[in-house]
Structure 1
Amino acid sequence: MATITISRRFGAGGATLGARIAKRLGYRYLNDELVKEVAQQVGASVKDVASIEKRRKPSRLMSFLEKVVKVDIIERKRKHKPVDVKEYIEGIKEVILKQYEQGNCVIIGRGSHYILQNKPDAIHILLVASKRFRIKFLMDNYGLREDQAERAVERADLIRADFLYYFSQRENHDDPILYTLCLNMDRLSFDEAEDLVVNLVKQRENKNV
């Protein structure tokens, strides 16, 4: 009943790899589904939750969220009160912990490696890649121009740093000590990366038989 978390730099192919791993292992693939569950948890719309995950302020994510809820952009369905920022974050934690308890899933991002950091049977994967690789990946897979892909990568890096800072007040979220396996996609094909993760999962499963 393994749970795999995949953290990644935007454009490194984390969602692509995660979907492949989930399909091969017969695991549940959890990405956009998490947004829907968090929205239900905090009584907000899926659109509002998704927008929170994709926007930033010059300050940390917390400041942005506090500003959002003060102007009632996000409202509870229950009593129509603004969602408390900490409750939103707690919603993410509760959803991911629930999925962990069910097991056999691949969770894409959203601080899942921090939330499940102390779970011994969770496998934490980090995908990194050069900026050049990530720009090319976005151009090849999403039809972006080079300048569009470069801006997307730069902005996503800032958003990711802001978002993860709330879970752990550290600057280096790609510290290898946080992960079970770190994959440099400049040096690995997706087939090779998939094999590495799947073989690791199977080895651990065999030890537990």
Structure 2
Amino acid sequence: MDNFVVTFARGFGTGGKAIASQLAKELGIHCYENRILTLASQLSGLDENVFQEVNEKLREEGGFTSFLRGLPRAKGYISRNEKFKSDDRLFEYQSQIINELADKESCVIVGKCADYVLKNRPNVVSIYIEAPRAFCVERTITNMGVTPEVANATIERTDKFRADYYKYYTHGNYWTNPVNYDLTLNSERVGVENCVKTIEQYLIIKGFIKADMIKPAGELI
């Protein structure tokens, strides 16, 4: 079957990242999470000669995936306290990475306006995961081991960053606009595991996968 891509946008604490990861596991494809794309995008700060060298590596057969895997762990990962500041060169490079991934393999991509970057491709399914604040706070407290006050502040700052980021790079579009996505799922009402199943059924309907391609990968938390 031809390559397909599932993009995920998600509110903080909704379980969207876990849903994306589980979906990728059950379909036997890579999940390129926000952190991985952020690491790769940091190369946009390199000088012109090194940037050209990176571009050449991306054109080599099989060089792209190994290039991503070989990236060092970042020390400057986006802080949840950081306000959004535009960096057009960084976004241009991230968009190149997203398009290269879509060209080369079936995969799941989390964040970075991937739905917008790939909007003109027929082989893309875009998902938005939402949930009520109380549900997100509870998950954040459990997963991060923080107080309710810290959980609320983290959710508010992170979602504000994501909304501002999306609005700027999509030229005024809204991150939570359901028209941007194939499916918008409430992870509290649907259930985190059932979100994965729902997306898989949609992929079957779209003809991107067959039912026998799905391999259960364990319980989601």
TM-score (norm 1): 0.79
Q: Superposed, which structure 2 residues align to 1:71-110 within 5 Å?
A: 85-110=87-112
**Counterpart selection for 2:140 from 138, 141, 144:** 138
* Alpha-carbon distance between aligned partners in 2 of 1:56 and 1:156, rounded to the nearest angstrom: 9
Other-structure match for 1:68:
none
Give SS of 1:157's match: helix
Residue identity matched to 1:35: T
Paired residues of 1:54 and 1:159 also in contact (CA < 8 A): no
* Deviation string, structure 1 residues 154-209 (Cα, Å, up to 9, x no partner): 111211112112212325321111101110112111121010111222332269xx
Other-structure match for 1:81:
none
166-175 or 178-187, larger mean C-alpha shift? 166-175
**Counterpart selection for 2:123 from 100, 121, 124:** 121
* Deviation string, structure 1 residues 75-132 (Cα, Å, up to 9, x no partner): xxxxxxxxxx321110111111111112311101111111111111100000011111
**Counterpart selection for 1:147 from 129, 146, 149:** 149
* Alpha-carbon distance between aligned partners in 1 of 2:142 and 2:88, rounded to the nearest angstrom: 38
Q: Residues 8 and 37 of structure 1: is their aligned pair in 2 closer, same or farther, counting only changes over 3 Å?
A: same
* Alpha-carbon distance between aligned partners in 2 of 1:52 and 1:172, rounded to the nearest angstrom: 22
**Counterpart selection for 1:33 from 33, 36, 39:** 36
Residue identity matched to 1:124: S
**Counterpart selection for 2:175 from 166, 173, 176:** 173
Give SS of 1:47's match: coil
* Alpha-carbon distance between aligned partners in 1 of 2:36 and 2:148, rounded to the nearest angstrom: 30
Q: What are the ranges of 5 or more consecutive residues in structure 1 without an aligned counterpart? A: 63-84
Other-structure match for 1:194:
196
Other-structure match for 1:82:
none
Q: Residues 129 and 110 of structure 1: is their aligned pair in 2 closer, same or farther, counting only changes over 3 Å?
A: same
**Counterpart selection for 1:47 from 68, 75, 85:** 75
* Alpha-carbon distance between aligned partners in 1 of 2:101 and 2:81, rounded to the nearest angstrom: 22
* Alpha-carbon distance between aligned partners in 1 of 2:178 and 2:166, rounded to the nearest angstrom: 15
* Alpha-carbon distance between aligned partners in 1 of 2:78 and 2:176, rounded to the nearest angstrom: 24
Q: Residues 47 and 172 of structure 1: is their aligned pair in 2 closer, same or farther, counting only changes over 3 Å?
A: same
Give SS of 2:112's match: coil
Paired residues of 1:161 and 1:171 also in contact (CA < 8 A): no
Residue identity matched to 1:43: L
Other-structure match for 1:205:
208
Instruction: Give % identity.
Output: 23
* Alpha-carbon distance between aligned partners in 2 of 1:52 and 1:101, rounded to the nearest angstrom: 31
* Alpha-carbon distance between aligned partners in 1 of 2:12 and 2:96, rounded to the nearest angstrom: 25
Query: Shift in Å at residue 139 of structure 1?
Result: 1.0
Paired residues of 2:5 and 2:109 also in contact (CA < 8 A): yes
Other-structure match for 1:163:
165
Q: What are the ranges of 5 or more consecutive residues in structure 2 without an aligned counterpart? A: 48-71, 211-221
Superposition RMSD on alpha carbons, in Å? Answer: 2.1
Give SS of 1:187's match: helix
Other-structure match for 2:60:
none
